């Protein structure tokens, strides 16, 4: 590699439980060069207490080797990486941000080994910080029980004050029957199930033969339906389609327990088609057409909100980017809500919707890609991007969707924290891993997460719970709702029983590793 002018990157560690922090650390490291070597400490070199490591080094190496960003894994039989660093002489040695001010003589020797050979020691962003030791130590163990890693990490989080299953159940209870106004566009999504695709007889193009279809209410309508199923009393403020399509929509919403406040502007059905073969999506066609938002529509939205505001416990903005919440309407709405006393949550659930349009929210939910676009930070620190969005929108807290890695809850710190490494912190971050790393269909995930996190923020505001815990509670509710939503094709409504079942699962979670040889069994407790 050196002869070819290519750069080798090396990481070293125990990697007992490969968690989201490791994945991001390794992905970032691989981007710094042309190949990534990961070295791990063998079982004999680890001194972290009884039962450690939890996973033997050959299986830890196999786990890492299966990751696409890792090119080579090597097991080191010494307690530090100094020897292997002197042998390999990597161009770049990557450690976590927590090592930047570390005075441990072992790391100092590793740094000297790298730099004396002309290499560099760099530190990853540290956006997500997990500890394998903390995860394992916090989990109860048993020989006859076991759970997956995300469940275990969530079970650890639920050991925090105010996060016990019964306390989170009380959050659900307090939100029951409370009035929530959902503002946003309704979308209809059609799933057309097709026979197996084949090449056309005259041209070599994929040919689909639809065999059936299912229709779902999506967008703000799906958020409202989920809120109703979770126990709230939602009202949906939207522009429904005109004619028979609008009448059918109103009937479906009433059946779902949603009251609809219609605006005078009319529109065609906002339709999105998905073509599937079995459960596999082959193609999506978006027929949704944005409509022009003018001062009259903005004034009508604000007038309706003023009319309903005295009786509301929460307002939830679910912007689909189709014109209802255009710039003028968003500005007027911001002015109308500046003196509100109810909870306000918001999400921009489309690429052409701005997640920063609604100001002063108690919780902003946004996926990572949309967040980075909004603050023009395509590859920098995620924490920096989140703070930029929270600062620009004056949001109190934010939840960032990381896809299969889960959610990251950010909360403003009461004062700027000097971390001592030149990177002052203005927010705290709590990672909440996904319970569905391999989803069947993500179409309804955002609606379910927004509804569940809104329920959590509402229930938390009504109880004697530290407000600093609210974003983490909202993120826990979010991943529980997401797990149900992505387990079926189409839009699946998540109800309060689903959330309670998820809480019960986490409350009873255990973690155990059993070696195939009974005599060598390792148990973490």
With contact defined as beta carbons under 8 Å apart, do 207 and 197 qualify?
A: yes
Q: Is the pLDDT of residue 362 over 70?
A: yes
User: Taking residues 428-453, what's their average pLDDT?
Assistant: 90
Cα distances from 127 to residues 147, 369, 385, in angstroms, run 25, 15, 10
- Tokens in use for 43? 């079982």
Whole-angstrom Cα distance, residue 225 to residue 232? 10
User: What's the helix, strand, coil split of the chain in %, to 5?
Assistant: 40, 25, 40
96-151 pLDDT, tens digit per residue, is 877 776 778 888 999 999 999 999 999 876 554 455 555 555 444 433 444 566 66
Please compute the mean of the pLDDT values over residues 180-192 and round it to a whole number.
95
The pLDDT score that the predictor gives to residue 162 is 82
How far is residue 170 CA from its own chain's centroid?
24
**Rounded mean pLDDT of 307-319?**
96
Q: Please say if the pLDDT value at position 243 is more than 60.
A: yes
- pLDDT confidence of residue 524: 33
3-state secondary structure (DSSP) of residue 95: strand
Count of helices and strands (H, E) across the chain:
16, 20
Confidence grade of residue 170 (pLDDT, cut at 50, 70, 90)? very high
Short-list 237, 229, 193, CA closest to 447: 229
- CATH number belonging to the domain at 8-138, selected among 3.40.50.620, 1.10.3370.10, 3.40.470.10, 3.30.56.10: 3.40.50.620
10 — pLDDT class (breaks 50, 70, 90): very high
Query: What is the pLDDT at residue 125?
Result: 61
Percent of the chain with pLDDT over 90: 52
d(CA 193, CA 89): 55
Q: What is the maximum span of the chain, computed from C-alpha positions, in angstroms?
A: 76
pLDDT-wise least confident of 3-12, 196-205, 299-308: 196-205
For 522, the token pair is 């390792």
Beta strand segments in 309-395, E: 314-319, 343-348, 363-367
Q: What is the mean pLDDT of residues 170-178?
A: 95
Q: pLDDT by residue (tens digit) across 17-60?
A: 787 778 888 998 999 999 999 999 998 887 765 556 778 899 88
| In the block, residue with structure tokens 């509301």 | 312
**Encoded tokens for 60:** 């830890």
CB count within 10 Å of CB 341 equals: 8
The predicted pLDDT at position 131 comes to 53
- Number of other CB atoms surrounding residue 424 within 10 Å: 11
Pairwise pLDDT comparison (6 vs 209), residue with the higher score: 6
What is the pLDDT confidence band of residue 470, given thresholds at 50, 70 and 90? very high
Report whether pLDDT(508) > 70: yes
Instruction: Name which of 160-164, 306-310, 371-375, 432-436 the model is least confident about.
Output: 160-164
Helix (H, G, I), strand (E, B) or coil at 443: coil
- Span 344-351, average pLDDT: 89
pLDDT of residue 136: 53
Domain 176-197+228-507, what architecture?
A: 3-Layer(aba) Sandwich (3.40)
With a CB cutoff of 8 Å and minimum separation 6, the contacts of 141 are 510, 511, 512, 523, 524, 525
pLDDT, position 123: 84
pLDDT tier for residue 424 given thresholds of 50, 70 and 90: low
Domain ranges of the chain: 8-138, 176-197+228-507
Pairing of strands 259-262, 233-238: parallel
Look at residue 496 and tell me whether its pLDDT is greater than 50. yes
pLDDT band at 514 (very low <50, low <70, confident <90, very high): very low
**Bigger pLDDT: 388 or 150?**
388
Q: Which two tokens stand for residue 178?
A: 């409370």
CA distance 228 to 412: 30
pLDDT in the model for residue 515? 46
Q: Indicate the range of 9-18, 141-150, 390-399 predicted with least confidence.
A: 141-150
Q: How many CB atoms lie within 10 A of CB 439?
A: 16
State the average pLDDT over residues 444-459: 96
Question: ω into residue 247 within 30 of 0, thus cis?
Answer: no
Confidence of residue 427 (pLDDT cuts 50, 70, 90): confident
Between residues 413 and 425, which one has the greater pLDDT?
413
Q: DSSP E strands: which ranges in 25-154?
A: 35-41, 72-76, 92-95, 120-123
Q: Which residue has the tokens 């740094």?
A: 111
Name which residue leads in pLDDT, 449 or 420: 449
| Residue 262 pLDDT > 90 | yes
Q: Which residue has the higher pLDDT, 61 or 518?
A: 61
Question: Average pLDDT, whole number, for the chain?
Answer: 85
- Which helix H or strand E contains 498, and what residues bound it? helix 496-507
Cα torsion angle, 235, 229, 251, 287, sign: positive
């Amino acid at each position: 590699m050196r002869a070819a002018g290519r750069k080798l990157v090396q990481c070293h560690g125990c990697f007992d439980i490969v968690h989201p922090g490791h994945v991001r650390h390794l992905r970032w490291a691989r981007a710094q060069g042309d190949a990534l070597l990961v070295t791990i400490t063998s079982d004999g070199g680890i001194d972290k207490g009884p039962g450690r490591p939890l996973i033997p080094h050959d299986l830890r190496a196999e786990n890492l080797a299966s990751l696409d960003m890792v090119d080579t894994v090597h097991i080191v039989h010494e307690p530090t990486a100094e020897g292997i660093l002197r042998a390999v002489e990597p161009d770049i040695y990557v450690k976590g941000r927590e090592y930047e001010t570390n005075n441990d003589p072992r790391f100092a020797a590793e740094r000297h080994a790298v730099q004396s050979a002309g290499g560099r020691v760099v530190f990853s962003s540290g956006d997500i910080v997990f500890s394998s030791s903390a995860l394992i130590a916090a989990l109860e163990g048993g020989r006859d029980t076991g759970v997956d890693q995300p469940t275990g990490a969530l079970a650890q989080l639920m050991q925090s004050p105010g996060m016990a299953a019964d306390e989170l159940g009380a959050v659900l209870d307090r939100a029951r029957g409370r009035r929530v106004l959902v503002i946003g566009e309704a979308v209809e999504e059609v799933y057309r199930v097709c026979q197996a695709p084949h090449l056309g007889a005259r041209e070599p193009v994929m040919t689909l033969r639809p065999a059936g279809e299912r229709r779902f209410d999506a967008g703000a309508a799906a958020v409202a339906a989920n809120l109703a199923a979770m126990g709230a009393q939602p009202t949906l403020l939207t522009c429904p389609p005109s004619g028979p399509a609008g009448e059918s929509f109103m009937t479906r919403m009433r059946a779902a327990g949603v009251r609809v406040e219609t605006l005078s502007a009319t529109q065609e059905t906002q339709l999105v088609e998905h073509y599937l073969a079995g459960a596999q999506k082959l193609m999506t066609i978006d027929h949704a057409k944005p409509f022009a938002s003018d001062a009259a529509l903005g004034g009508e939205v604000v007038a309706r909100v003023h009319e309903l505001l005295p009786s509301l416990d929460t307002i939830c903005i679910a912007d689909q980017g189709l014109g209802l919440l255009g710039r003028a309407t968003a500005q007027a709405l911001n002015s109308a809500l500046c003196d509100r006393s109810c909870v306000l949550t918001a999400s921009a659930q489309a690429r052409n919707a701005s997640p920063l349009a609604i100001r002063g929210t108690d919780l902003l939910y946004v996926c990572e890609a949309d967040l980075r676009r909004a603050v023009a930070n395509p590859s920098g620190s995620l924490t920096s991007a989140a703070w930029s969005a929270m600062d620009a929108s004056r949001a109190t807290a934010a939840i960032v969707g990381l896809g299969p890695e889960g959610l990251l809850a950010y909360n403003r710190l009461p004062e700027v924290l000097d971390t001592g490494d030149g990177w002052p912190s203005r927010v705290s971050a709590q990672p909440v891993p996904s319970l569905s790393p391999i989803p069947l269909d993500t179409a309804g995930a955002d609606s379910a997460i927004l509804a569940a996190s809104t329920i959590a923020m509402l229930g938390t505001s009504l109880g004697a719970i530290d407000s600093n815990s609210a974003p983490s509670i909202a993120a826990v509710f979010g991943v529980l709702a997401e797990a149900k939503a992505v387990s079926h094709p189409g839009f699946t409504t998540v109800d309060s029983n689903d959330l309670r079942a998820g809480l019960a699962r986490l409350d009873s979670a255990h973690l155990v590793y059993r070696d195939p040889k009974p005599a060598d069994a390792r148990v973490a407790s």
